[in-house]
Structure 1
Amino acid sequence: NAWIGCIYYRFKKFQSFVCSRSSLAGDDYQFLQRSVIPTYHFQKSLRRLPIPKLSDTCNRCESSSYVELKGVKFVFLFRFLASAKVVLNDAVYSRTEGTVRSFEQTEGQELQKALIDYDRNHKDTSYISEPWFDMYLRSRLPCPVNFNPFMMYAPDPDARFNHQLSRATNFAISFARFRRALDNNMLAPEVFHLNPKKSDTKLFRNVCK
């Protein structure tokens, strides 16, 4: 009986190993998502962002950042003039406003024209897409502080997986699963459902595919 019990134990252990290996090799694990709606199904229906008028931009803005795109430097003005006016004294605000007005009448005109020409030649996307993605993906600087105030990941519900090595391993595996789903057009497209009870359903996904 002891011999039979030993064989049975080894068989169950081997069976568990085979099942775990097969589950890891299956598509349900290899792909983070397996959406029936292709990832870029709605891409052509997305509206292109309009380029704001230079005067509107300057009236809302206070600081500029240069971004080089295919050899052309564009100026993107960050919209915080109203906020700046609250915290700056009159003298500093007056100097800053003068700089913005000077820019609007000089190099701003040329840069606005270059931006419009670039947008006209890239009708497949919005003018902001390439520099926006380059900012996050091309730069080797840490994302927190340089591009985002901070980044935070929620702790795993299972305390056993909150060890730094386990979390790093799971992140790497999840990134690979995400990339595989994206490359195979299986990552679910982001849809903002105005009425989820009617549209965020299995019927909706089956009709759209």
Structure 2
Amino acid sequence: MENKIEILYAEDNRDSVELTLAVLENKGFHVRVVPDGKAAWEAFQKRKPDILMLDLEMPKKTGIELVGMVREVDLDTPVVLYTGFATPANEVAALNEGVNDFISKTVHPNVLVARLKNIYDRICRSPQQPYVYQLSVSTVYNSVTRELKIDGNVEVLKPLDGRLLALLCAKCNEEAEQDYLLVGLWGEASIGKSSEVKKYVTHVRKALSADERIEIRSVGRGGYCLCSK
């Protein structure tokens, strides 16, 4: 990594800090560490990082509270929640607040590094389009406008189809569990909606069918994975 990616990392667990620092600094990242949400907010205001990485449960301000504060003044800096509390409800709440990625502390260190580099490449190098997903050399999806562009052809997806694709894009190449999709699509009104997810997956599969590099695979118990080659 020629130019080090700077990460502002808020974490109150010292063991987690030491393990994460060892991984990231070994891969060439520059990491500033703060012990709580209040300190993270103060450090962010003094100097914006390339990526803001937050624990979810922290003293003084939680990760989600801090995301809300950051997004009131800055829509461009990528924010990652890195947490051991990776429940579907927490993940969807974080995405709704403007988090760019939600990473469980149980992932392999190489996956953490790859996800952070992907965030940097996708957002920091295209700062005017933080919610645009480059799914392949031919396919781009804008999760704000719901515009899916494949080989120059543009289709505006219907609201629930677009929301589903955005949820899958946020977990590209990994399993999006059924509960995560249900909460993301319908929130508290998701009871009894399990069978409807398949219908919207069918819609999105059809929209993506022009690009053979992309597929939506069924995985686990009612989950799906957006796979991009």
TM-score interval, normalised by the smaller of the two chains: under 0.3
Greater C-alpha Rg:
1
Which one has a larger percent helix, Structure 1 or Structure 2? 1
Relative contact order, higher structure (CA 8 A, sep 6+): 1
Which one has a larger percent strand, Structure 1 or Structure 2? 2
TM-score, normalised on structure 1?
Answer: 0.24
TM-score, normalised on structure 2?
Answer: 0.23
